[in-house]
A and B are shown apart, each in its own frame.
Chain A
């Protein structure tokens, strides 16, 4: 059974950094691409980033490019999202999700972790 568990969320001041983790189990993590998607309170879903199965390729939406970094540790079955220079508008629930490849949409989702950026 596919299991994705996000952690690392919390309250952080604007301009600071936070690293999210997504622990994966129940499938061969090193075979699949992984995405981060967020949802601001009361708003829709926003795709943020995807990393290839081996971590060699990463893509980002414009709003986080240069501030957020996606990475993975296939030896530990963990996906990361390093978030720097956080802004109030980055406040959201952050979901990790699995897909078969970069060109495949997210299919299996974690429960999400809440990040609140506030002074």
Chain B
């Protein structure tokens, strides 16, 4: 069974740069997996940050960027702000119509 892996938790100081990753327990994530990234605060629906590996959704600050780093998808926040403290999820396309979310990363800004 394919598992999408994310860091359970990460901390970053205000103004710092942090990279969250999204990998597979077997194999590499490439652009063909169409990775996307979401931000979610408690009690709210997910907010789409990045789709199709690196395309920023409308209204998303440019401090958020998506890429492939090595064998994983990556979400980089450059100049983290207090309001970026949240849960972040990636999703990847496994083919044959099937999508799988990662377990999520809790980002703390302090």
Contacts and interface: CB of A to CB of B under 8 A. Distances in A.
Interface stretch (B13-21, B23-31, B43-51): B43-51
A107 B89 contact: no
Interface stretch (A16-24, A40-48, A71-79, A82-90): A40-48
- Chain A, interface size category, equals 20 to 34
A105 B93 contact: yes
A59 B99 CA distance: 9
Given A44-B101, A45-B89, A105 B96 contact: no
Contacts of A57: 97
- Chain B, interface size category, equals 20 to 34
Interface string A81-119: 000000000000001000000111111111110000000
Interface core residue of B98, B99, B102 (most chain A CB under 10 Å): B99
Contacts of A95: 45-46
A103 B94 CA distance: 9
Nearest to A57: B97
Given A44-B103, A107-B36, 13 more contacts: A44-B104, A45-B46, A47-B99, A59-B97, A102-B97, A103-B34, A103-B97, A104-B51, A105-B35, A105-B91, A107-B48, A108-B48, A111-B45
Interface of A: 35, 37, 44-47, 50, 57-59, 61, 95, 102-112
